Chain A
């Protein structure tokens, strides 16, 4: 096992989890933005739950769902797919915990787009899909990128739920936070400091990249607005 294993793993897991939260969170946010029924409120509560629950509890719930005896776990087991203690498990744990951040950011970004633009596009003959991809999405992009940044950051630092569902297996599922915890627990201070340094460098790089990307897309969004 090399010292950089957990660093690469954490970057991969956070990337996978961000993609997963975007694919799940953006359509959910789009669907919920125009709904206010009791049922949709309940669904929204469920999406937001991992934000409130301690991550270990979220991890335990995921473990009960994806374990061999759980509803998802037993179904997947029949297909020969095992989730618990794999990197997929690390992605699922991170994604579950960061979904609320992605969902909320996307929803407020979509709600902040003036409905007038969508209606105008409609009168010019654009269908719902086209309106979403050509009008709403570009205008909501800065907020969505902000949501991706938050989801990535939360996924990168995920500990509790990951420990439960993916375990703490060096080289397989031991992400950066788990490796730091392990190094501290075993009194390996040089390793702990090395990993800590790597975390700070990466976190700082993420912050810079995000603020640059957000600034750029905000400027482009502004241009789009003028054209519309």
Chain B
């Protein structure tokens, strides 16, 4: 090995070590559904104080976050947009059973482009609309709830053949906001302050299981006490206030 090459490898090794150390162990890693990113970010400083460890957020689709945990990602707390993701981990013994909490909910709304003022029944709106944007029921939770609610209200037949499947609630929102699609179904927390009109709120009874968020402490967490304190903080008054001010439902 020439000296120059040795120096090069040495530098690389140093670089990689420095990068690994930068991801230090003394923090609470919380994997949370994307829809919670904003509110959790705003709560992070207080949550760090309450849990005793700096809280780091890893946000994404609940399904991908679950996959990462199953592969052994060093996550301490998992907050999923669907309790079934937590249940799947519980079945494999990957979460602390006593730490599972269904603590937050959402409501489903029918939205339209802002300022189009259509005060009609959802049945009339849906039969007149050219297209309806919903999340893909196979992959996006909000899409699955939309299919359930439309089905139980007998509206699914009306929209068959004119569904536009979005990859996320945000995409559905963009379709409607930009006027590309007249109607869409999203969560009320997505629709808030997004520049669309809420035309109808689906009753919770229209869904077999209404939208709920669940959280649990991961069994392999090395900071179980801090993780439990973090959970307690999310169940406390400061967090509840932040959640309800952003349109979440407190069951």
Residues of chain A whose beta carbon lies under 8 Å from any beta carbon of chain B: 12, 16, 19-20, 23, 60, 63-64, 67-70, 73, 81-88, 91, 129, 133, 163-164, 167-173, 182, 184-187
Contact = CB atoms under 8 A, between A and B. Distances in A.
23 contacts: A16-B16, A19-B8, A19-B15, A67-B68, A67-B72, A67-B73, A68-B74, A85-B74, A85-B75, A87-B19, A87-B22, A88-B19, A91-B16, A163-B64, A164-B68, A167-B73, A168-B59, A168-B60, A185-B170, A186-B34, A186-B37, A186-B170, A187-B170
B153 interface: no
B148 interface: no
A133 B2 CA distance: 9
The 10 closest A-B pairs by CB, nearest first: A68-B72, A86-B23, A67-B71, A67-B72, A87-B19, A167-B58, A63-B71, A84-B73, A185-B170, A88-B19
Nearest to A23: B12
A188 to B, nearest CB: 8
B201 interface: no
B68 A167 contact: yes
B41 interface: yes
A85 B71 CA distance: 12
Contact of B23 (A60, A82, A164): A82
A62 B176 CA distance: 37
A81 B16 CA distance: 11
Given A163-B60, A168-B60, A60 B74 contact: no
B9 interface: yes
Interface of B: 2, 8-9, 11-12, 15-16, 19-20, 22-23, 25, 29, 31, 34, 37-38, 41, 56-60, 64, 67-68, 71-75, 168, 170, 173, 194, 220
A174 B161 CA distance: 39
Contacts of B59: 168, 182
Contacts of B16: 16, 88, 91
A195 to B, nearest CB: 15
A70 B56 CA distance: 24
Given A129-B2, A163-B60, A167-B73, A85 B23 contact: yes
Nearest to A129: B2
Nearest to A20: B12
B15 A16 contact: yes
Nearest to B41: A170
A67 B220 CA distance: 13
B14 to A, nearest CB: 11
A88 B20 CA distance: 6
A63 B41 CA distance: 26
B30 to A, nearest CB: 10
A63 B194 contact: no
B2 A184 contact: no
A16 B11 CA distance: 10
B73 A185 contact: no
A70 B73 CA distance: 11
A86 B56 CA distance: 12
A84 B38 contact: no
A84 B220 CA distance: 14
A77 to B, nearest CB: 8
Given A23-B9, A23-B12, A85-B29, A91 B71 contact: no
Contact of A169 (B11, B58, B168, B220): B58
A172 B74 CA distance: 14
Contacts of A19: 8, 11-12, 15
